[in-house]
Structure 1
Amino acid sequence: MKTLDFKPKLVSAIRNYNKQTFMADLMAGLIVGIVALPLAIAFGIASGVSPEKGIITAIVAGFAISALGGSKVQIGGPTGAFIVIVAGIINQYGIQGLTIATLMAGVFLIGFGLLRLGTIIKYIPYPIIVGFTSGIAVTIFTTQVKDLLGMQMDAVPSDFIEKWIAYFQNLTHIDPWSAGVGLVSVAIIASAPKFSKRIPGSLIAIIVMTVVVLLLKQYAGVTSIETIGDRFNISSQLPDAVVPELSWETIKGLVAPALTIAILGAIESLLSATVADGVIGDHHNSNTELIGQGVANIVSPIFGGIPATGAIARTMTNINNGGRTPIAGIVHAVVLLLIFLFLMPLAQYIPMACLAGVLVVVSYGMSGWRSFTALMHNPKSDITVLLLTFFLTIIFDLTVAIEVGIVCACLLFMKRMSETTDVKAVYDEIDLNEDADMERGNLEHLSIPKGVEVYEINGPYFFGAGNKFEDLMGGFGDRPKVRIIRMRKVPFIDSTGLHNLENMCLMSQKEGITVVLSGVNEKVEAVLRRNNFHKLLGQENICNHIDLALARANEIVG
């Protein structure tokens, strides 16, 4: 029985911990906490919850992910990828439904880790990841157009196409002051890296534009610029832990969105951890990481938070500023907690247009347009999965996109795998120079006796391979007495392959043809034996190599 694969990196990191490492982690955690502040507020508001819920998520989930995760430098919290999902769940099920779905997602993530699925999740096709990530980016940008331009309009439609129709219909209702704040914020964030490597552009933009808006309101009489305080009541009080009431009907209805949260959280966190490994030269424990993410998504909603996962941008900020152990992530959570307790009321003065600008830049970074355009030069099957996932994400929702995308990718994978298996007929003689399964001495060729057909399977014997026999069997002309099937290049056989092989053998026997298997390896022979092929064909008709198979064929023909 396999032991539990749960080994938090924090445990091994503190064994040889010293003052120098702590000072590096402290500085990195302080900077990452400041970086995370505007993002947590923006992600919270964009998801349809109050700004403090975004910070609470970064505090609670960020602490749990660092303390219990399988990566030394992973920074967790709310991310842009969840905006679309969270907003959709709130629209359909309300805040209570989001809380329950996040709890369920946490349980799913823990289950993924306990079942050691961490490595399997990494194999989700790249076109699906790029497709839904780009789709999320477009959706985030679409949701921010109203606040970015300060449009004076009624409730924005939830449908993607209807949103853009409404935007074009309200182009005359743009507030120039708010639009100016939004666009200048984007410019500041985009240009900030040229002037400051440590202080994030989003924080600079928020500080600068908040001061500018306060001055405009105080001295220029500009009152049309909406701030967080105009839309939300800001609270700096920590919420009590509340476990929602659960019912079987509610759980059944939320399985799909909860599974979407879990899968997306697993993908994003493991991708972030993998990228971090390449930078610091470490190896994360994927199953421990999933369990840590699961605990974080159980604790976060209990304290009023939203779904969380590993954040690539914040993780890289942590690495670039010297963070090398989970202590940096814990410090980041403590910094956010102190800001929440003592400075949260100041958030009411932040302009909504500025936060929209932050998210516009985030959406651009998420879009991965270079990867998207590069994939457009790949095989048509990859392009199909990419575009299907992308358009399903923006037109419908991420749940549908992931489900359909994975199904399509699996079908295309099966098609490709079936094409890798080749079944060919061998006429007249066999070239022994290519045969590793043959005790051939000085012979170079081996003639095929009259009345014997030889077929060779090259590759795994599963779905699709059996049908290829039917296309070849009519090519010999006269009905044979023996069919030799060479399986020396068959590494394994699945249930579909077994079924096809059995049907072919039974069909041959009805026609009075003896089937002889040649070059069967031990693994495949064990599968055949468990399925009683030695009784169906006779043990003497299952041979180790071609010379024995031909000798057996000569006996039957003679």
Structure 2
Amino acid sequence: VLGAGGAKLGRIVSYIPWPVIEGFTLGIAVIIFLQQVPAAVGSHPGSSSNAFISAIQSLAHLNVATVAWPLASVALVALIMVFAPRIHRKLPGSIIAIIVVSVIAAVSAIPLAKIGLLPSSLPTPQLPSFDPATLQALVAPALAVAALASIESLLSARVAASISDTGPYDADRELVGQGLASIASGFFGGMPATGAIARTAVNLRSGGRTRLAAIVHAIVLLGVVYLATGVVSQIPLAALSGVLMVTATRMVSVSTVRSVIGSTRSDTVVFIVTAIITVSVDLIVAVGIGIAVAAFFALRNLARSGGVHRVELPAPSQPEDEHIALFRLDGALFFGAADRMLERVTRIDNVSVVIIRMSQLQVLDATGARVITEMIHGLERRGITVLIKGIQSQHLRVATRVGVIASLRHQNHLFTDLVAAVSHARSHVSRAAAASISPDLPENSAR
């Protein structure tokens, strides 16, 4: 992770489409909400690792006799969190709600499940073992974990930027920081550090805006471990679930959802697919599938933007023009559209010269260049001369490497000016017509 940050790989997060980010955020909000269902109804979590299935399983084993108190606690927490900021903007509604519910539960002896026993110290730091055999066995798993940690950290930063206006962020610095944190965690026997997407969202929706929020979070956790495990262990789980449910609800921006759904059909599909996969499968898998679906629609739209149009030759018209076909290539000519676009040119008939105008072509890949090459070969085999006009400098390399230029009958069949190309085509038609007439001249003279 540290190496990825040093290599400036954090910029890859900028290639994630907006509908994927919003679908991902919606899915996270649903997961956070569903994960709190067991505590909110006083039931045990389901056996499934999937949040939706686990919530269904916990509801299936619901004890109707004891569900009232947890639900009442969740409702009280929600009311306090909603109305406390209305009394004063700076009132920490979530903290007040937890304290109120905890005090009520302690004084009235309401049967609510508590957090329970917590560790009261951190492990003693120690140097890790550097056994060569162990290191060799851990290389592949470590790279996989590092890749996942990097992706989750970058997604966390991107989601944070989309949820709240926290200002610009440096993705590479984020990776460097997470890498250093993972190294430090290893000395205490801890797990690799990543940016927790759900926790980041909770932090922002609770009012966090700067790095100070993360520092305070770490200090408070450290203080709880050493000074307040007894007090914190008595907090009802229903109170915490209420806080997280309200926070999850606040993560969903109705106006943003409407904006995505009201944009284009393809963006709507990407948004919905990403959200569903996030909830039903996995966070990282959802992003991968979301990007793949977005890429599919982008390529389809790019393919549709391209076209082949037969256009009129420049005036004034000449008698030879009926034997010349001028085609203009527009948009993109790549693997998704090349065959379809050039099929019309390949089937042209009753002409002697075909001019391919490429000055309006925006995208040309190796597949597109190969199809042009095959098209030229096919036309030349039928006796149709092909001229190319206006091939752009950024396309010249791929056209040369794939064989477009070499497939032309002569090197002087490559033009930069349309008038010159048309003039050459007309001359070619005139010469061909003269050549077809000249064999009859001796016979006519004899008569």
**TM-score, normalising length: structure 2:** 0.81
- 2:426 corresponds to 1:549: no
- 2:123 corresponds to 1:239: yes
Q: 2:73 aligns with which of 181, 186, 190?
A: 181
1:272 equivalent in structure 2: 160
- Asked if 2 retains the 8 angstrom alpha-carbon contact of 1:256 and 1:399, the reply is no
1:418 equivalent in structure 2: 303
- Asked if 1 retains the 8 angstrom alpha-carbon contact of 2:38 and 2:58, the reply is no
TM alignment of 1:424-435, pairs within 5 A? 424-426=309-311, 428-430=312-314
TM alignment of 1:348-387, pairs within 5 A? 348-387=233-272
- Asked if 1 retains the 8 angstrom alpha-carbon contact of 2:85 and 2:93, the reply is yes
Q: 2:180 aligns with which of 290, 295, 306?
A: 295
Task: Output the CA distance in 2 between the equivalents of 1:279 and 1:393.
Answer: 24
Task: Output the CA distance in 1 between the equivalents of 2:252 and 2:143.
Answer: 28
1:182 and 1:250, CA in 2 relative to 1: closer, same or farther beyond 3 A?
A: farther
Task: Output the CA distance in 2 between the equivalents of 1:312 and 1:163.
Answer: 21
1:263 equivalent in structure 2: 151
Q: 1:461 aligns with which of 319, 333, 340?
A: 333
- Asked if 1 retains the 8 angstrom alpha-carbon contact of 2:351 and 2:384, the reply is yes
Deviations, residues 367-407 of structure 1 (Å, cap 9, x unaligned): 33442343222322222222222222222222332222222
Task: Output the CA distance in 1 between the equivalents of 2:374 and 2:425.
Answer: 21
Percent identical residues: 28
Q: 2:96 aligns with which of 187, 190, 204?
A: 204
How far 1:189 sits from its partner (Å)?
Answer: 1.6
Task: Output the CA distance in 2 between the equivalents of 1:241 and 1:523.
Answer: 57
2:378 equivalent in structure 1: 507
Q: How many residues align?
A: 418
Deviations, residues 259-309 of structure 1 (Å, cap 9, x unaligned): 444323202214535777x666xx543323333234334544654355325
2:387 equivalent in structure 1: 516
Task: Output the CA distance in 2 between the equivalents of 1:267 and 1:417.
Answer: 27
RMSD, aligned α-carbons? 3.3
- Asked if 2 retains the 8 angstrom alpha-carbon contact of 1:301 and 1:307, the reply is no
- Asked if 2 retains the 8 angstrom alpha-carbon contact of 1:206 and 1:354, the reply is yes
- Asked if 2 retains the 8 angstrom alpha-carbon contact of 1:269 and 1:309, the reply is no
- The 3-state SS of whatever aligns with 2:325 is strand
Deviations, residues 65-122 of structure 1 (Å, cap 9, x unaligned): xxxxxxxxxxxxxxxxxxxxxxxxxxxxxxxxxxxxxxxxxx2xx4543443433322
- Asked if 2 retains the 8 angstrom alpha-carbon contact of 1:192 and 1:200, the reply is yes
2:369 equivalent in structure 1: 498
- Asked if 1 retains the 8 angstrom alpha-carbon contact of 2:307 and 2:341, the reply is no
Deviations, residues 226-274 of structure 1 (Å, cap 9, x unaligned): 1112xxx212312234659967777657877764443232022145357
Q: 1:146 aligns with which of 30, 38, 50?
A: 38
**TM-score, normalising length: structure 1:** 0.66
Q: For residue 182 of structure 1, what is the amino acid of its counterpart?
A: V
- Asked if 2 retains the 8 angstrom alpha-carbon contact of 1:235 and 1:345, the reply is no
Q: For residue 22 of structure 2, what is the amino acid of its counterpart?
A: V
Comparing 405-414 and 169-178, the one that deviates more: 169-178
Task: Output the CA distance in 2 between the equivalents of 1:132 and 1:463.
Answer: 30
- The 3-state SS of whatever aligns with 1:172 is coil
Task: Output the CA distance in 1 between the equivalents of 2:212 and 2:60.
Answer: 49
How far 1:357 sits from its partner (Å)?
Answer: 0.8
- The 3-state SS of whatever aligns with 2:321 is coil
Task: Output the CA distance in 2 between the equivalents of 1:399 and 1:496.
Answer: 32
Task: Output the CA distance in 1 between the equivalents of 2:28 and 2:139.
Answer: 26
Higher relative contact order, chain-length normalized (CA < 8 Å, sep 6+) = 1
Task: Output the CA distance in 2 between the equivalents of 1:174 and 1:499.
Answer: 71
- Asked if 2 retains the 8 angstrom alpha-carbon contact of 1:296 and 1:308, the reply is no
How far 1:359 sits from its partner (Å)?
Answer: 1.2
Q: 2:18 aligns with which of 126, 148, 151?
A: 126
Q: For residue 211 of structure 1, what is the amino acid of its counterpart?
A: V
- 2:114 corresponds to 1:227: yes
Structure 1 unaligned regions, length at least 5: 1-106, 431-443
- The 3-state SS of whatever aligns with 2:16 is coil
How far 1:535 sits from its partner (Å)?
Answer: 2.5
Q: For residue 550 of structure 1, what is the amino acid of its counterpart?
A: V
How far 1:500 sits from its partner (Å)?
Answer: 1.8
1:514 and 1:291, CA in 2 relative to 1: closer, same or farther beyond 3 A?
A: farther
